[in-house]
A and B are shown apart, each in its own frame.
Chain A
Amino acid sequence: MSILSMENVSYTYRNRYQTVNAVCNVSYEFELGHVYAVVGKSGSGKTTMLSMLAGLDLPTEGRVLFDGKPTSTLNRDRYRRENVAVIYQSFNLFPLMTVKENVMYPSRLRGIRKKDALRCASEKLELVGISEQQSKRLPFMLSGGEQQRVAIARALASESQVILADEPTGNLDVENTKNIVGILSDLSHDMGYCVVIVTHDLSIAERADVVVRMVDGRITEDQSPHDNALLHCRS
């Protein structure tokens, strides 16, 4: 059964010159335990789709369902707080909070005791390979790869079943990219998370379970892991 799905979702907005159909009549289902790579050119609607999945925006037509319930009927703040976690390309860590405080943030926001939030943060940081010493630093003292791992730890600390990543490796070198994708892949396969990665990077798509290709706001291909090589060749 899908944890997150889209039913005839469209997203239209109007800029100064024209009406833009960012996402057109998209239907898709995301399941737990899988890594999805959403690929496509810039402006193909990937990030818009991710925003709707993340509850940051609502579709102008159709509906996004979480666990069978339309997100439009849910408390969207609560949905973002408890059901989905988002990882961004530019890490988006709180600059005035230490690494550990950053990871504690989702737990504290949910009203979890500081002691429990602290223990949870330590676990998640350890899971992504951030040492205790590093956890006491402010984010700017870490490398890009480390910051992104902190962002992943923070996503995990939210206890959400769905992790949405928007170009999570866009600012990282090859080695760090490999590590981050490895972590996300492990989380999905070992811990049952549903991971949706929006990316230009085909090396990430290669490691995904499902590759979703978007062109002009539409999903044109939905390929199984076995077809990844084909995807790679065609791209």
Chain B
Amino acid sequence: MRAKSSTAPFRRWGFILASALVSIRRGGVKNLIVPLTSFVLALFIGLFGHQIATSEDELDVLYENSEVLAYFTSGSGKHVDDLIIDPNTVNSIAETGFVGETYTTAIRNTHIIGAPTSIISIYDNGEYLSIPPGFAKETFFENARRHLSKVCFVSDIKHAPEFFFENALAIEYLDGYDASVFGRNESVCALSEGMMDALGYELGDSIRLAVFTSTLSDAIILYKDVTIVAQFTRVGSSHLIYMPAEQANKGYILNTDRQYSNASQSYYDGYEIVDGLVYDYEYVDPYFAYDAVSMRLTNLKDLAEFKEYLIDSGYSPIGNRGSARKWIVIEDTLLNDSVMSINRHISYMQILFIAVYALAIGIGFVLSSLLTKMRRRELALMRSMGAGRFKTFAAFFIEQALLCVTGCVMAVLVLRIWNGSLAPLQWYSFIGYIGCYWLGAAVSVMLMNKVNIIEILTAGE
């Protein structure tokens, strides 16, 4: 009858488990207290878990749906335009992965020289556009300056400085066009309603834009024909003509004040003025400064990381002056407030979690102590019959563990019926609760396992 087979240890453990099940089955009503308590506490834990999961979902939705803009500004934070922003700077920020879209604005002086039909003949003659006959050179420039308008190259008109602080932009598009036209490379423009009225233009008309320089001995005028596809209600003080940013790369118009100094020089790749003639190579190196840049940020969860990047790159908070002397405003106040509010809610729930977990440890200890105390004699008897300390621990602990799990399973079923499905966090919460209860129960059974066998077995004799 001696157990010599290699499966004997497994049978011994199987027997321990079976004994625990028998004890649960025959333990009577008193055993119900553990599953009932576990049921109630697990239900609470499940609800807290649900609350936290919901809040975390809200947080995710908030991060996903929130629009946070960052924009370059002056050191005082008051101006968002008339800045000189190096495109390389903008590119390096865009490469961080925190920028979804970049909205650039480049403003250049231009002069409307009339509808194409009115000057087409001049161009068709093959002559370079020069001071119109009958004008003295000085008179021409004076006149031009007086009527100077500006072209504003934008990737999204909504983000142009003029409308930056406007909630809604009143803009009317020509049939077949919408705001996306500014994201394409088309020779189109938008004029203010006032300018349209004053010049007598209508949507669909073409105008010829020209730039010139006064630094040359002879006026050099570069020109471009564009179609008016939109008109807007003016907000700013200057007459701006909006064109798609991509058009800036065409080189006709941008090559003015800031870079243009000497006609004998080569200016950019793609630009060359030789003997007073402009050679347009279509492609222009986009190395020119922006007047305003704003960015729609993504990856909002890691916004702090983006801020760290900016600080490391020498950007400064408004009012301070950093090494780079560049200032970027991140409009995340609303997002931060909302995130803080949700996080506060989550924190409360987490505190409750900790409280319930601590309670679970305590209850596990107390209930197990009460239930095993009544069975100290059984435990001592097992030990006296040669059951090792670990086996007696296992026998009683398994019993308590199973009772606790039973209560948890009931709570899971109730919550599943109620909620339909359980979030991963809720499952982790249950596991956490079970772990805590088991911890309390384990300590209790371990203490009980140190009983004086002889004292108990001979007590009452």
Q: Which of B10, B11, B381 is A92 in contact with, Cβ under 8 Å?
A: B381
For residue A81, which residue of chain B has the nearest CB?
A: B386
Q: Which of B3, B7, B458, B460 is A110 in contact with, Cβ under 8 Å?
A: B3
Most chain-A Cβ atoms within 10 A of its Cβ — which of B7, B386, B460? B386
Contacts A94-B378, A113-B11 known; A159 to B2 CB distance under 8 Å? yes
B11 / chain A contacts, CB cutoff of 8 Å: 108, 111-114
Interface string of B367-382 (1 = CB under 8 A from A): 0000000000110010
A112 / chain B contacts, CB cutoff of 8 Å: 1, 3, 8, 11
In the bound complex, how far is the Cα of B387 from the Cα of A111, in angstroms? 11
A107 / chain B contacts, CB cutoff of 8 Å: 1
Question: Do A106 and B385 have beta carbons less than 8 Å apart?
Answer: yes
In the bound complex, how far is the Cα of B389 from the Cα of A166, in angstroms? 23
Least Cβ–Cβ distance between B391 and chain A, in angstroms: 8
Question: Do A105 and B1 have beta carbons less than 8 Å apart?
Answer: no
Does residue B416 face the partner (Cβ distance < 8 Å to A)?
Answer: no
Q: Which of B15, B22, B378, B453 is A109 in contact with, Cβ under 8 Å?
A: B15
Question: Do A47 and B454 have beta carbons less than 8 Å apart?
Answer: yes
Question: Do B1 and A77 have beta carbons less than 8 Å apart?
Answer: no
Interface string of A83-118 (1 = CB under 8 A from B): 001101110101111000100011111111110100
Does residue B197 face the partner (Cβ distance < 8 Å to A)?
Answer: no
Chain A 42-78 interface residues, beta-carbon cutoff 8 Å to B: 47, 51, 54, 56-57, 77-78
Question: Do B1 and A92 have beta carbons less than 8 Å apart?
Answer: no
Most chain-B Cβ atoms within 10 A of its Cβ — which of A79, A90, A120? A90
Does residue A170 face the partner (Cβ distance < 8 Å to B)?
Answer: yes
Question: Do B461 and A88 have beta carbons less than 8 Å apart?
Answer: yes
Interface residues on A, range: 35 or more
A47 / chain B contacts, CB cutoff of 8 Å: 454, 458
Question: Do A116 and B1 have beta carbons less than 8 Å apart?
Answer: yes
Does residue B457 face the partner (Cβ distance < 8 Å to A)?
Answer: yes
B458 / chain A contacts, CB cutoff of 8 Å: 47, 88-89, 166
Question: Do A111 and B457 have beta carbons less than 8 Å apart?
Answer: no
Least Cβ–Cβ distance between B408 and chain A, in angstroms: 24
Q: Which of B12, B22, B385 is A101 in contact with, Cβ under 8 Å?
A: B22
Contacts A54-B384, A101-B22, A159-B1 known; A170 to B461 CB distance under 8 Å? yes
For residue A80, which residue of chain B has the nearest CB?
A: B386
CB contacts between A and B, total, < 8 Å:
92
Question: Do A56 and B381 have beta carbons less than 8 Å apart?
Answer: no
Most chain-B Cβ atoms within 10 A of its Cβ — which of A47, A80, A166? A80
Q: How many residues of B contact A (CB 8 A)?
A: 32
Does residue B258 face the partner (Cβ distance < 8 Å to A)?
Answer: no
Contacts A51-B454, A57-B454, A96-B26 known; A109 to B460 CB distance under 8 Å? no
Least Cβ–Cβ distance between B396 and chain A, in angstroms: 12
Question: Do B454 and A110 have beta carbons less than 8 Å apart?
Answer: no
In the bound complex, how far is the Cα of B18 from the Cα of A105, in angstroms? 11
Least Cβ–Cβ distance between A33 and chain B, in angstroms: 20
Question: Do A56 and B2 have beta carbons less than 8 Å apart?
Answer: no
For residue A48, which residue of chain B has the nearest CB?
A: B454
Contacts A80-B385, A166-B458 known; A111 to B8 CB distance under 8 Å? yes
Question: Do B22 and A90 have beta carbons less than 8 Å apart?
Answer: no
B377 / chain A contacts, CB cutoff of 8 Å: 92
B23 / chain A contacts, CB cutoff of 8 Å: 96
In the bound complex, how far is the Cα of B389 from the Cα of A92, in angstroms? 19
Does residue A167 face the partner (Cβ distance < 8 Å to B)?
Answer: yes
Contacts A51-B454, A167-B461 known; A111 to B385 CB distance under 8 Å? no
Q: Which 5 A-B pairs have the closest CB atoms?
A: A81-B386, A111-B8, A111-B3, A80-B386, A89-B461
**New A-B pairs, 10, CB < 8 Å, besides A81-B385, A97-B19:** A47-B458, A56-B453, A80-B384, A86-B385, A88-B461, A111-B9, A111-B10, A112-B11, A114-B15, A159-B1
Residues in chain A within 8 A of chain B (CB atoms): 47, 51, 54, 56-57, 77-82, 85-86, 88-90, 92, 94-97, 101, 105-114, 116, 120, 138, 158-159, 166-167, 170
